[in-house]
Amino acid sequence: MALDRTHLDHLAAHLDAARSEVRDVTKITDDFPDMDWADAYDIQDEIRRRQEARGLRTVGLKAGLTSFAKMKQMGVNEPCFGFVSADMARPDGGEIRMSELIHPKVEAEICIVTKAALRGPGCHVGAVMAAIDFVIPAVEIIDSRYRDFKFDLKSVIADNTSAARFVIGGRSRAVEALDLRTLGVVLEKNGRIAAMAAGAAVLGHPAAAVAMLANHLGRRGQEIPAGTFIMTGGVTEAIAVQAGDSINVRFQDLGSVSMRFVE
């Protein structure tokens, strides 16, 4: 750990305020170049603690930067992990207010809910498959607090991996009824196909993202509890949206998730 408690608290307050005041900031490693990976996750944990203390309920975990298209888009080569809270959830087919966000982008995500705890190290795809209660589709709306999405991985992790909104829709299915690798996803923006991919775009298998999350938490002395909602990461690159845009994502065997962006 390179930063002391005072700096960690200061940076958590800084990013937390940027989120609630809907304003962008420069990446925090500009001022704290020595910040290490543990610091980045400690800042994220402190943001989570502050939000929970204000009554915001954490309702799930997320993996980000798990598809090769997304890593390429952002110029990074490893995933990151964060959390989602109840205030970020919006209904399927509903409206997302642009005035509450800085510069949102959408990501189509295959999500799971666990029925057993997962703990690393050594967690693998097989253990994850045995622990999946059901699979459900969602769209994540990311909104980096960093100006023009200019950041490095440590800054993004501290900023709770750009988490902002999410919409769960479609229908849930038992994992045995699906092939998560060949599960096709088509993302339409204003009625036109903007991106498409299959589940294997996520680290070869979406369950691999969950195993990486369990192993990451294991290194921090934590686990994924039973009953956890987990977003495995966008299958394609993220797609920028503006007021007036409609998004509809079709997930093979899982139905559709849609939303409209309004002023």
Which residues here bind ligand 0L1, judged by CB under 6 A?
A: 62, 64-65, 70, 74, 80, 107, 140, 142, 144, 149, 156, 161-162, 233-234, 238
Closest residue by beta carbon to ligand 0L1: 64
Among ligand 0L1, Mg ion, none, partner that 188 touches (CB below 5 to 8 angstroms by kind): none
The residue with tokens 């690798």 is 181
Shortest CB 148 distance to ligand 0L1, Å: 11
Shortest CB 65 distance to Mg ion, Å: 8
Please give the Cα distance from 197 to 115 (Å, whole number): 27
C-beta of residue 171 within 8 angstroms of C-beta of residue 159: no
Backbone angles phi, psi at 200, to 5 degrees: -60, -15
Please give the Cα distance from 126 to 129 (Å, whole number): 5
Shortest CB 22 distance to ligand 0L1, Å: 16
Write out the residues near Mg ion by the rule CB under 5 A.
64, 107, 140, 234
3-state helix, strand, coil in the chain (%, to 5): 35, 35, 35
C-beta of residue 43 within 8 angstroms of C-beta of residue 8: yes
- For 72, 120, 160, 166, 181, the CA distances from 139, given in Å and listed in that order, are 20, 27, 17, 6, 18
Please give the Cα distance from 203 to 101 (Å, whole number): 29
Shortest CB 231 distance to Mg ion, Å: 6
Among ligand 0L1, Mg ion, none, partner that 74 touches (CB below 5 to 8 angstroms by kind): ligand 0L1
Shortest CB 73 distance to Mg ion, Å: 12
Nearest alpha carbon to residue 82 among 170, 2, 144: 144
Nearer residue to Mg ion within complex by CB, 120 or 233: 233
Nearer residue to Mg ion within complex by CB, 73 or 172: 73
Among ligand 0L1, Mg ion, none, partner that 16 touches (CB below 5 to 8 angstroms by kind): none
C-beta of residue 229 within 8 angstroms of C-beta of residue 248: no
Among Mg ion, ligand 0L1, none, partner that 238 touches (CB below 5 to 8 angstroms by kind): ligand 0L1
* Total residues found in the chain within this entry: 263
Among ligand 0L1, Mg ion, none, partner that 65 touches (CB below 5 to 8 angstroms by kind): ligand 0L1
Shortest CB 31 distance to ligand 0L1, Å: 20
Closest residue by beta carbon to Mg ion: 140
